[in-house]
Amino acid sequence: MNVAVVGATGAVGETIVQVLEERNVPVAELHPFASRDRAAAVRFRGDRLDVRTASDEALRGFDVVFFAGGEDASEKYAPGLLERGSVIIDNSATFRMQRGVPLIVPEVNGDVVRPEHRLFPVANCTAIILCTALRPIRDVAGLKYVRVATYQAASGAGRAGLDELAADERALVTGAPEPAPSVFPRPLARNVVPQVGAFDADGWSGEECKVRDESQKMLGLPELTISVTSVRVPVRTAHSEAVFLETQRETSCAELAAAFDAGAAIVFHRDGIVTPREVEGTDDVHVARLRSETTAEKGRHFAFWCVGDQLRKGAATNAVQILELLLEKGYVAA
Ligand SMILES: NC(=O)c1ccc[n+]([C@@H]2O[C@H](COP(=O)([O-])OP(=O)(O)OC[C@H]3O[C@@H](n4cnc5c(N)ncnc54)[C@H](OP(=O)(O)O)[C@@H]3O)[C@@H](O)[C@H]2O)c1
């Protein structure tokens, strides 16, 4: 199986290459692409690979093409590559909400994949973490509404986001003039910024709409009320979420705790807390601080905290898991 990674020098693309190696995916040849050529810029299985400029011509003939190059690259190259028979696994938002296109988190809705599917968008990172955590609750007690406040890391805005946070932190420490923010709407160091993406006419940010719409699609609950406030925080990697929900049926913390314990890709912390720095570099969604809003034994209103590395489970690991699922089902040949 020959594989291309578009955006291989970026935060997500670099992690895809790393996860392909870590998980021993049967890749015969790996070819990294970006917006320009760079010699020996990507490491894979002990080799240093040249990065080539992406183009229609250069991307032809791969069995599988991962996109982590932003909306432009996906829009420009993916349709032609699909016509020529490549499987596309795309981290951009371009195709996520198209009808008939599956939006897969293997642990949540891997069963919707069909042999004719060739285009696999990878959902928004915050939505993947949220849906992984919500799935056991949906299955045990149903979901009526979900409200979530997010605490999103700087690397959610790619390398440029990390660089801007680091430059701002350096300036504050050294007393140099703070650089004007360009990636984030306000300086991020020693701050929290309640805007991720542009606001629409009703005041919702682009990120908030993606989390709502994509979570409804992945959970298979198009009518579920999901209300999101997305906030950027001065954390390097891993998104955190404070989740408040109402279930369809009465349930208890004990029943939900058991469901989290048994949940795929979830580490449930019965006691104490979990923070983004502790989960950076890991593939599970960590759930903690489960509590009921009522003192009665059973109820419908609950709250919990969850954290996941958005570059891994929220992007690269989920993308590679989609390929593993296709290999397992025999829809892609090794
Ligand atoms: N960061 C996250 O947490 C996260 C999570 C989920 C999904 N995503 C999505 O994943 C994608 C990549 O995000 P990122 O955070 O990794 O961004 P990034 O760090 O800015 O990296 C972008 C990569 O794309 C390449 N690129 C840009 N334009 C290109 C073009 N026209 N043709 C080919 N390559 C191009 C860049 O190459 P050069 O280095 O040559 O410019 C770089 O390798 C985006 O669609 C983003 O929305 C990101």
Mapping DSSP onto H, E and C, the string for 63-127 reads CEEEECCHHHHHHHHHHHHHHCCCEEEECCCCCCCCCCCCCCCHHHHHHHCCCCCCEEECCCHHH
CATH number for 127-310: choose from 3.30.230.70, 1.10.760.10, 3.30.360.10, 3.40.190.10. 3.30.360.10
Q: Over the Cα atoms of the chain, what is R_g?
A: 20
**Alpha-carbon span 69 to 72, nearest angstrom:** 7
265: which 2 tokens? 């890709």
Q: Under CATH, what is the fold of the domain 2-122+315-329?
A: Rossmann fold (3.40.50)
Instruction: Tell me the pLDDT band of 19, cut-offs 50, 70 and 90.
Output: very high
Q: Whose CA is nearest to atom 3 of ligand 1?
A: 156
pLDDT tier at 65 (50, 70, 90 boundaries)? very high
- Note the pLDDT tens digit of each residue in 240-274: 999 999 999 999 999 999 999 999 999 999 999 99
Query: Where in the sequence of the chain do the CATH 3.30.360.10 domains occur?
Result: 127-310
pLDDT at 82: 97
The strand pair at 239-251 and 2-6 is best described as: unpaired
Q: Which of 91, 232, 318 to mutate to test the pocket of ligand 1 (most atoms within 8 A of CB)?
A: 91
**Partners of 33 in the beta sheet?**
6, 52
Which residues share a beta bridge with 3? 30, 64
pLDDT at 176: 97
Strands 47-53 and 38-44 turn out to be antiparallel
Most ligand 1 atoms within 8 A of CB, residue of 9, 12, 162 to mutate: 12
Q: Is the CB of 10 under 6 A from ligand 1?
A: yes
Q: What is the pLDDT of residue 68?
A: 98
Question: What are the φ and ψ backbone dihedral angles of 165, each rounded to 5 degrees?
Answer: -65, -45
Question: What is the Cα–Cα distance from 76 to 257, expressed in whole angstroms?
Answer: 45
Question: Residue 144 and residue 30: Cα distance in Å, rounded?
Answer: 44
Question: Which residue type does 129 have?
Answer: I
Contact call for residues 202 and 222 (beta carbons, < 8 A): no
**What mean pLDDT is predicted for residues 119-124?**
98
Ligand 1 nearest-atom number relative to CA 124: 6
Tokens of 29: 């040849």
Residue nearest to atom 32 of ligand 1 (CA): 35
Q: What is the per-residue pLDDT across 173-231, written as a single tens digit (0 to 9) for each?
A: 999 999 999 999 999 999 999 999 999 999 999 999 999 999 999 999 999 999 999 99
How far are the Cα atoms of 54, 78, 81, 254 from residue 62, in angstroms, in the given order? 13, 12, 9, 49
Instruction: Give 12-16 contacts, CB < 8 A, sequence gap 24+.
Output: 12/68, 12/91, 12/158, 12/311, 12/315, 12/316, 13/66, 13/68, 13/69, 14/42, 15/311, 15/312, 15/315, 15/316, 15/317, 16/66, 16/68, 16/315, 16/316, 16/319, 16/320
Q: Which atom of ligand 1 is nearest to the CA of 77?
A: 32
**Higher-confidence position of 334 and 182:** 182
Enumerate the CATH 3.40.50.720 domain ranges in the chain, comma separated: 2-122+315-329
> Which tokens in the block code for residue 59?
């991307």
Q: How many helices and strands, by DSSP H and E, does the chain display?
A: 9, 13
Yes or no: say if 214 and 97 are a contact pair by the CB < 8 Å rule.
yes
What's residue 196's pLDDT?
98
CB 308 within 8 A of CB 238: yes
Decide: 132 and 308 in contact? Cβ < 8 Å: yes
pTM: 0.98
Is the CB of 311 within 6 Å of ligand 1?
yes
Output the pLDDT for position 192. 98
DSSP 314: I
Ligand 1 and 308: CB distance under 6 A: no
Instruction: Give the residue numbers annotated as catalytic, written as ranges.
Output: 125, 239
pLDDT at 53: 98
Q: Is the CB of 6 under 6 A from ligand 1?
A: yes
pLDDT at 326: 98
> How many whole angstroms from 299 Cα to the centroid of ligand 1?
43
Task: Please compute the mean of the pLDDT values over residues 276-281 and round it to a whole number.
Answer: 98
Confidence of residue 77 (pLDDT cuts 50, 70, 90): very high
**Contact in structure between 164 and 182 (CB atoms under 8 Å):** yes
Q: What is the average pLDDT score of the chain?
A: 97
Q: Categorize the per-residue pLDDT at 74 as very low, low, confident or very high, splitting at 50, 70 and 90.
A: very high
Banded model confidence at residue 144, pLDDT cuts 50, 70, 90: very high
Q: How far apart are CA 170 and CA 187, in angstroms?
A: 12
Measured by CA distance, the residue closest to atom 15 of ligand 1 is 158
